Structure 1
Amino acid sequence: MRTSSTSLLYLLYFIRLLKIDFPAVEPSTTLPLSNGHTNMLNVHLVPHTHDDVGWLKTVDQYYYGDRNDIQHAGVQYILDSVVDQLLKNPDRRFIYVETAFFYRWWKRQSPSMQQTVRQLVDEGRLEFVNGGWCMSDEATTHYSAVIDQMTMGLRFLNETFGACGRPRVAWHIDPFGHAREHASMFAQMGYDGFFFGRLDYQDRTHRMVQLEQELLWRASDSLPPPTADLFTGILPNGYNPPEGFCWDQSCDDPPIRDDPDLEDYNVNDVVSRFLGIAKAQVRRTNHIIMTMGSDFQYENANLWYKNLDKLILYVNALQANGSKVNVLYSTPSCYLQELHRANLTWALKTDDFFPYADSDHDFWTGYFTSRPALKRYERISNSNLQVTCNQLEVLAGPASRTGPFGEGEKKAMAVAQHHDAVSGTEKQHVANDYARRLANGWQRCQVLVSNSLAALSASSAKRIYCDNLNISVCPLTESSRKFAVTVYNPLARPVSWAVRLPVNGSNPDDPFPTMCLVQVVPVSAATRGVRRNRGFAVNELVFQVQAPPLGYSTYSVSLLQNGPPPASMKPRHPAAIQNEYLRVTFDPDTGLLSSLANLETKQSIKLTQNFYWYNASDGNNTESNQPSGAYIFRPNSSTPFIISQTAKTETVQTSVVQEVRQWFSPWVSQVVRLYAGSRALELEWTVGPLPIDDSLGKEVITRLDTSIQTAEVFYTDSNGREVLRRKKDFRPTWTLKQSEPIAGNYYPINSRAFIKDDADQLTVVTDRSQGGGSIHNGSLEIMLHRRLLYDDVRGVAEPLNETSHIFPDGLVVRGRLLLSLERPPVAADTHRLIAQEMVLQPLLTFTDGDLNPNTRLEVRGFSGLQAALPPAVHLLTLTQWDQDLVLLRLEHQFQSWESKVSSQPVTVSLQVRDETPVLKTFQDISPWEVTLRPMEIRTFLLRVVLR
């Protein structure tokens, strides 16, 4: 081992355990007093601004106040103005959320201004809530990326302001539905409470009647209470001020005119209306909360504070005449403290808040799929930027940190978690900006990856990256007769992975380090069409690679120009394809799937699959004028149009891979693919450009119809972690009046969904966040692509009609679904690991010619672990924290009920010794042994000592 690099094996040998920071903490007992009165109705006024980290304008445009022709908003001026106004009255309070914006502002302030702000924070007059880099979306984000963006924001606040800057309240006032896993994460991070604004209109009505707008959310069925318990409050007016009480420069409400000698004195009217609103608010205690602010407000904070000062003055003055209403400046944490003091028992909730509707026909379920290409790019970026880059920086040590890179890639990923970013609910130019930031981050990350692999392999060969392998484009492999491919595995267990590389030769010669199954197959017509002259390879080299845990393997490839010919394509409907584990049959007349069998368990189900499209509502119908848009899914009919009853097919059958290539129309095709040794069937779909010459918006789905008896029940994951039960036309905590039988039964699918009965479970693993549902018994449908011609009137003000310079006629999207068939009691052991491999795929890098042409030393493999972690344990985070500190997170990735084997507690030994990590069922017995229970995450800071 070179002294300039450190594998985890050595890292864990020379560590000193510093702290464990992720388990839940007790609710804070040091919150500032709110100065409320015990015998009065206390109205907590919370001045705030909601600053989207990109939406109608880009992040930069919002910060600087650029492009005000789109939306008047300038975050730097908001912070300037608020700080100035807080200094003028010690009673005033303000909360701020988006650390991404505050960080920018802070870095541009003078030392004296920074000290002033620290004083405001220390005094509790400026309070940070939520504290993440952004206010993340809850439907389309993966938990690992959410944890990373929260870590970035909270770390900055801690290092800048210490304990006084620590947010005590999670604040998700704008996301469009709320995930149970988010609440679980917030609870485990030590938050005292969680407040949000958007709630299904029927659910809100029910909770108002039942006095359940404040509740205890038990956000895990595996973690023992109160580990994932979180007090949750639903804000009574969304996140806006009460009607008539908006005093921002963007508002039209009249100011408080309190000079009796001037015209239009209105104090009595304002106070009377305010008291009426306050007394009418549903409550269980003598404390209520009112949000005083909204989107990008307080750019001229003097307008707000001058009127709020007067409101407090004149309402409280009535106490001298017997009024029992007390108004005060407050914050969510102060309000929460008063609720805690009330010592009440709150309603319990164990499910989530999806789907969200704001009216009868307005279900916000379209954004589960909107901008599917961006959703996939975000998922790939999470694997490349947040995982691979971070791990290799640790494994290679200081040698990795030379070159033009910094925090840009982490900030790009953090911004992408925003609820108008990966959600797909932004304007097109903003979506382009998010993608550009991710691309720039990846370019900087490539420098680190190259440095790290050079240090670990003792090779200075130039590393080349091919980012378009999904459409069979890689200039190096297409033109070079000899190259090396290095496969880095970010998982803490070994993986077997099928690699497909575009080539123009025939058979490979002597792949290194060992002979493996290799085959050359022709590039499909669908791939040639979608790459649109960006590549010229006629064939694909397909072979299985083995990559060690947290490490890499390198394979050398030589191509023969006159070798055996590639595998041939046969233009016919196949009877079946199969490998050691699965058998898939096709209908001889239609070319469609007809059955799926698991050869190990001797189970078989009927399975048909096809593609359909819903006609997106244009708003012109008798029930409602609501159109489909970026947020809202609203089909004109509950019956989708089938794209084709039959599929034209070609088959490729080799010892490495068997493929059935299906064409349904000029804009829909698919490859049904089964690799040797795989327990999952791959469906690689290509959809687009969606035709709109008929003036109809289209929302394309694939539907799997099976013989499984589901009783209209199916299951989806929550942010990639725990699984929740769903039932058609049903909500667990309130009686649903269903008005949209399709859109009202769609849920977010972040990584997997399944249907099951007593005998069979069919699991579908997705490669990005998508929306889906089980509309029919034994059926599961997933929305793949959307192209719409109308805006849904939720603020974006443009239709979701994606084009690009490559696809001016409409975006083409390609993706993968993985299908597994198992017995229900053991299915989780398979689909959890398949889903994990889909989220964290191996990273491929290439070198032209020999890997090390100028030296005899050539390291062909490397692992950062002495032994693989047990299947139930996932290495969630390994990243450089400081110069000599490393952040390590381990998680148990099974729920308590999922598996007889994998759902048991696991003890992992971090100490370097001869035996492998052991499985135990008792408490930690030393700092070297870490016990993880189902769904538990443990976080450590490690000090690295190099020698």
Structure 2
Amino acid sequence: CRVRAWDWGVPGGGGHEYRGRLELVGGGWCMSDEAAAHYSPALEQLALGRRFLRQELGGCATPRVAWQIDPFGHSRQLAAIFAQMGYDGLFVGRVDHQDKGTREELRELEMIWRASGSLDPPSADIFTGILPNVYNPPSGFCWDQLCSDPPVVDEDSEENNVDNIVSSFLHIALSQAERYRTNHIIMTMGSDFHYENANLWFKNMDKLITHVNARQANGSRVHVLYSTPSCYLWELHQANLSWSLKTDDFFPYSDGPHQFWTGYFTSRPAFKRYERLSNNFLQICSQLEALAGPVAREGPYGPGDSSVLREAVAVAQHHDAVSGTEKQHVADDYARQLAEGWESCQVLVANALASLGGRKENFVFCNALNISVCPLTETTSRFTLILYNPLGRPVSWPIRLPVNGASYAVTDPQGQPVLSEVSPGCPPPHPGLLFQASAPPLGFSTFKVSRLSRGDPPAPPARPPLSSEPQEIRNEHVRVLFDPLTGHLKEIQNLDKSISLPVFQSFYWYNASVGNDESLQTSGAYIFRPNSSQPIPVSSSKRVPTYLVKNALVQEVHQNFSSWCSQVVRLRVGQPYVELEWTVGPIPVEDGWGKEIISRFETTLQTDGRFYTDSNGRQVLERRRDYRPTWNLSQTEPVAGNYYPVNSRIFIKDKKFQLTVLTDRSQGGSSIFDGSLELMVHRRLLYDDNRGVGEPLVELGANRQGLVVRGRHLVLLDTVESSAERHRLLAQELFMAPYVVLAPGGGSSYGFCPGDSPQTFSPQFSGLRQELPPNVHLLTLAPWGAGTLLLRLEHQFERGESANSSQPVTIDLLTLFSAFAITSLQEMSLGGDLPLDAVSRLVWTPATGTPWGGGGPGSRVTLQPMEIRTFLATVQYQEPGAGVGGA
């Protein structure tokens, strides 16, 4: 391809080579979604695809160009991932219409995207080109059974249209060339669902190429040929130009005035949560498969297989999957695929736990704990709980199980009693057993639970009368005050830092537009367009009914905003943040209006129009209201035009204090006025937005009455200097949460292998010999082949955001793991499919910038801020029952 790309010159009629080349490439689907997806599953999906291509087609099939033509905006973090995987360039289709118009005038449709402020250039630099027609052919040149453009007629006929078609094409080509910098331009040919009858396309393109090139005998300087993005990119590189530098991202995206594609940041919130949980469980499944070895795949519970869930999670990264812009029956099918993957992985998890723990139990996976349903815990008086922790540091995790009894005894792995409480509602009328369970890094702890007496289930607490004294909940770290007259959140205090901030929080809904005189655009699965910039309070009364629940483990204020919107404000023992558990739905639409529900926080912070959101859960970017860094914005939607994707966190700050809100799924968020931030939690719409889904976003749910969604926001108040130390670790804990496995009975066990004695039972296990430093995250631990594991470590802090945690850190991989011994180690590219020293990228010259120099591999790995390093490890496992890793 490259030979063909640069050795294209053919002597023309004037004795010189042709000065231009036009490339035609077929449109294609995009690999992942950049707004609604967290970087971890997106990275896994890309690695899975690259590995498949290499295995099935050989090394020559390794892609060199990323092709993101249909996602609705493009994130800086994913661009950094593409660069670190070894891609030479990235081509995108959709960018904001104002951005594209400005770049066309400046001839800056092609640029160098510097996708990290922490990594030294050019390790996260990637050449990026914006395609001229998104991914469609130029007007008049669509030859598919779905199109109506006339074909090329070149026979001896009165319908012969060659002259007109060639002249039109040359005009388009020369016009397009005026907007790009070199004498090579690229034209996409094809579109959605095209090439089902490929003969139509290629027959007409063959004719077009022949007749356009024949015009060169009459002085035309346009030469047309079939090509690829890689070939085109090579020609741009050969031009040896310097290119403009971009450092922000491509959000939000609009394809016209009043047409912001910011609704999909929240669309289908239940599926967004399921996708997030599925990736969480996939990482646990992969880790246990790596720690236990082959026995995890062929153990006492049958064949386990992580690939089913891995592929389902990969499919869910499609830009019309996790984004929520698919039809309802397609969303149902995505969920079905994920459910099948869970079943296959649960067999593997059971095999691994039996091997690592030296026991065989009737393991039970309660998949409905999110709705407080678990038949085992509700019907038995004795059971065992195993908590697996996928993080590289120990965790203390709150356990909440539906039970049928008044009191229980809980013991930890050492047989010591654990403080527990039975809460009256989880939610009412289900009583819940509460206790804190700790687990070692990359390992599990086993807890025994016994009902002490049947008794009667605890009665719901009486709701106290309205009090003139401020209501409050508090623990050793945080105090939360509520307005005694309205029941709303009033103030948050960080007791460790003696910080106090007035914070008002409530729920509102935007009235979804059905179109008006300014624009016929409606709100839909893709597009967010409120009918008014002022949202309507969910509660019809200024007073929100509340009641308190307090015990030795948790303090809660239950708020009821309406019959379809409620919230629990919660503080657990030892928890340095406030937990807001919201329940929204079914959203009422009987009044004929679609509704977009937000949770809004109002503070006294002086924010100067600035707020901050994450990029795919990793980098943090500054956002400014009604502002874009690369062009002068003409704002048409003061709310929707300021919404950004929030995968893990959003925060506001002044010179001293910072309020951070973490999410448990991808959502849209903004700061519409100074001192405020808001997150959209749910949407129910009555009209399609005419962007392709072809149906309104209604989501009726299981009972056909409307979808009910429950989620959590974690709220942190801290100093600006200390906030990153909190929100970085908490976000990772929320994303890679521990997982609960249950077993009936009191935990009696026997040896895993025949002949083993009961002493082989390990109530606690850690796959690490020592915990990882807090700024290092074990991003990937997964089988990669016979006797080999793929290992990724990442530095999870950005440069300069923490005095301590933003420093480089060194890890010795050879002494890190306990379940196996590493016998050899090879550093790989980020995709895991190429040795790092085999990666050779094109070097581009930015208009401004500095050269980069990297380091070499070794068993002692040093990680710089935001750096991810990938290794292929050959390992040797200990024999089962050897007690390896017992803690």
Q: TM-score, normalised by structure 1?
A: 0.84
Q: Could you list the runs of 5+ residues in structure 2 that have no partner in the other structure?
A: 11-15, 752-757, 819-852, 879-887
Q: Does 1:867 align with 2:770?
A: yes
Pick which of 376-385 and 394-403 moved more.
394-403
Q: Does 1:829 align with 2:807?
A: no
Q: Could you give the per-residue CA deviations for residues 385-429 of structure 1, whole angstroms, max 9, x where no partner exists?
A: 2x0000000111111012344321111000000000000000000
2:549 to 646, 652, 656: 652
Indicate how the Cα distance of structure 1 residues 835 and 660 shifts in structure 2: closer, same or farther if over 3 A, else same: same
Q: Could you give the per-residue CA deviations for residues 25-58 of structure 1, whole angstroms, max 9, x where no partner exists?
A: xxx988853615685453333331434xxxxxxx
**Counterpart amino acid of 2:796?**
Q
Q: Does 1:516 align with 2:418?
A: yes
How far apart are residue 911 of structure 1 and its match?
Answer: 2.9
Alignment length (residue pairs): 818
Are 2:405 and 2:456, in contact at CA under 8 Å, matched by a contact in 1? no
Are 2:554 and 2:571, in contact at CA under 8 Å, matched by a contact in 1? yes
Indicate how the Cα distance of structure 1 residues 175 and 607 shifts in structure 2: closer, same or farther if over 3 A, else same: same
C-alpha separation between the residues in 2 aligned to 1:510 and 1:842? 18
How far apart are residue 252 of structure 1 and its match?
Answer: 1.1
Are 1:567 and 1:653, in contact at CA under 8 Å, matched by a contact in 2? no
**Counterpart amino acid of 2:674?**
N
How far apart are residue 296 of structure 1 and its match?
Answer: 2.2
Are 1:459 and 1:851, in contact at CA under 8 Å, matched by a contact in 2? no
How far apart are residue 226 of structure 1 and its match?
Answer: 0.4
Aligned position for 2:274: 377
Q: How does 1:859-898 map to 2 (within 5 A)?
A: 859-898=762-801
What CA RMSD, in Å, does the superposition of the two structures yield over aligned residues? 1.9
Pick which of 142-151 and 306-315 moved more.
306-315
2:518 to 623, 629, 643: 623
Q: Does 1:940 align with 2:874?
A: no
C-alpha separation between the residues in 1 aligned to 2:118 and 2:476? 34
Q: Could you give the per-residue CA deviations for residues 85-126 of structure 1, whole angstroms, max 9, x where no partner exists?
A: xxxxxxxxxxxxxxxxxxxxxxxxxxxxxxxxxxxxxxxxxx
Pick which of 414-423 and 244-253 moved more.
244-253
**Counterpart amino acid of 1:759?**
K
Q: How does 1:833-872 map to 2 (within 5 A)?
A: 833-853=729-749, 856-857=758-759, 858-872=761-775
**Counterpart amino acid of 1:184?**
A
Aligned position for 2:642: 745
Q: Does 1:930 align with 2:861?
A: yes
C-alpha separation between the residues in 2 aligned to 1:404 and 1:359? 52
Indicate how the Cα distance of structure 1 residues 854 and 941 shifts in structure 2: closer, same or farther if over 3 A, else same: closer
Secondary structure of the 2:209 match is helix
Q: TM-score, normalised by structure 2?
A: 0.90
Q: Does 1:677 align with 2:556?
A: no
Q: Could you give the per-residue CA deviations for residues 468-512 of structure 1, whole angstroms, max 9, x where no partner exists?
A: 222211111111101011000000111111110111112211422
Pick which of 567-576 and 294-303 moved more.
567-576
Q: Does 1:814 align with 2:717?
A: no
C-alpha separation between the residues in 2 aligned to 1:383 and 1:404? 21
Aligned position for 2:807: 904
2:123 to 227, 236, 250: 227
2:366 to 463, 466, 473: 466
Q: How does 1:180-219 map to 2 (within 5 A)?
A: 180-219=76-115
How far apart are residue 925 of structure 1 and its match?
Answer: 8.9
Indicate how the Cα distance of structure 1 residues 781 and 667 shifts in structure 2: closer, same or farther if over 3 A, else same: same
Q: Does 1:541 align with 2:433?
A: yes
Q: Does 1:666 align with 2:534?
A: no
C-alpha separation between the residues in 1 aligned to 2:596 and 2:340? 31
How far apart are residue 442 of structure 1 and its match?
Answer: 0.1
How far apart are residue 588 of structure 1 and its match?
Answer: 0.5
C-alpha separation between the residues in 2 aligned to 1:763 and 1:328? 53
Q: Could you list the runs of 5+ residues in structure 1 that have no partner in the other structure?
A: 1-27, 52-133, 529-536, 916-921
Q: How does 1:257-656 map to 2 (within 5 A)?
A: 257-259=153-155, 261-281=156-176, 282-385=179-282, 387-402=283-298, 403-406=302-305, 407-513=307-413, 514-523=416-425, 527-528=427-428, 538-561=430-453, 566=458, 569-572=461-464, 575-619=471-515, 621-644=516-539, 645-656=542-553
Q: Could you give the per-residue CA deviations for residues 433-461 of structure 1, whole angstroms, max 9, x where no partner exists?
A: 00000001000000000000011111111
Indicate how the Cα distance of structure 1 residues 847 and 902 shifts in structure 2: closer, same or farther if over 3 A, else same: same
Are 1:489 and 1:552, in contact at CA under 8 Å, matched by a contact in 2? yes
C-alpha separation between the residues in 2 aligned to 1:517 and 1:207? 62
Aligned position for 1:761: 658
Q: Could you give the per-residue CA deviations for residues 205-241 of structure 1, whole angstroms, max 9, x where no partner exists?
A: 1111111111110000000000100110000111100
C-alpha separation between the residues in 1 aligned to 2:653 and 2:661? 12
How far apart are residue 932 of structure 1 and its match?
Answer: 0.4
C-alpha separation between the residues in 2 aligned to 1:268 and 1:138? 43
Aligned position for 1:61: none
Are 2:76 and 2:248, in contact at CA under 8 Å, matched by a contact in 1? yes
Secondary structure of the 1:911 match is helix
Aligned position for 2:883: none
Secondary structure of the 2:638 match is coil
Secondary structure of the 1:944 match is strand
Q: Could you give the per-residue CA deviations for residues 622-653 of structure 1, whole angstroms, max 9, x where no partner exists?
A: 21111100000001000000012221111111
Are 2:65 and 2:229, in contact at CA under 8 Å, matched by a contact in 1? yes
How far apart are residue 926 of structure 1 and its match?
Answer: 7.6
Are 1:629 and 1:791, in contact at CA under 8 Å, matched by a contact in 2? yes
Q: How does 1:27-106 map to 2 (within 5 A)?
A: 32-33=5-6, 35-36=8-9, 40-51=18-29
Indicate how the Cα distance of structure 1 residues 924 and 480 shifts in structure 2: closer, same or farther if over 3 A, else same: farther
C-alpha separation between the residues in 2 aligned to 1:766 and 1:41? 53
Q: Show structure 1 runs of 4+ deviating over 6 A.
A: 28-31, 922-926
How far apart are residue 560 of structure 1 and its match?
Answer: 2.0
Are 1:368 and 1:748, in contact at CA under 8 Å, matched by a contact in 2? yes
Aligned position for 1:801: 698
C-alpha separation between the residues in 1 aligned to 2:4 and 2:453? 74
Are 1:482 and 1:850, in contact at CA under 8 Å, matched by a contact in 2? yes
C-alpha separation between the residues in 1 aligned to 2:483 and 2:327? 43
Are 2:409 and 2:420, in contact at CA under 8 Å, matched by a contact in 1? no
Indicate how the Cα distance of structure 1 residues 217 and 36 shifts in structure 2: closer, same or farther if over 3 A, else same: farther
C-alpha separation between the residues in 1 aligned to 2:687 and 2:56? 45
2:60 to 164, 170, 185: 164
How far apart are residue 594 of structure 1 and its match?
Answer: 0.4
Q: How does 1:146-165 map to 2 (within 5 A)?
A: 146-165=42-61
How far apart are residue 324 of structure 1 and its match?
Answer: 1.1
C-alpha separation between the residues in 2 aligned to 1:300 and 1:912? 58
Secondary structure of the 2:630 match is coil
C-alpha separation between the residues in 2 aligned to 1:592 and 1:932? 45
The share of aligned pairs that are identical, in percent, is: 57
C-alpha separation between the residues in 2 aligned to 1:925 and 1:581? 43
Secondary structure of the 2:683 match is strand
Q: How does 1:684-763 map to 2 (within 5 A)?
A: 684-763=581-660
Indicate how the Cα distance of structure 1 residues 943 and 854 shifts in structure 2: closer, same or farther if over 3 A, else same: closer
C-alpha separation between the residues in 1 aligned to 2:644 and 2:528? 11
**Counterpart amino acid of 2:93?**
G
Are 1:34 and 1:335, in contact at CA under 8 Å, matched by a contact in 2? no
Pick which of 833-842 and 926-935 moved more.
926-935
C-alpha separation between the residues in 1 aligned to 2:125 and 2:669? 28
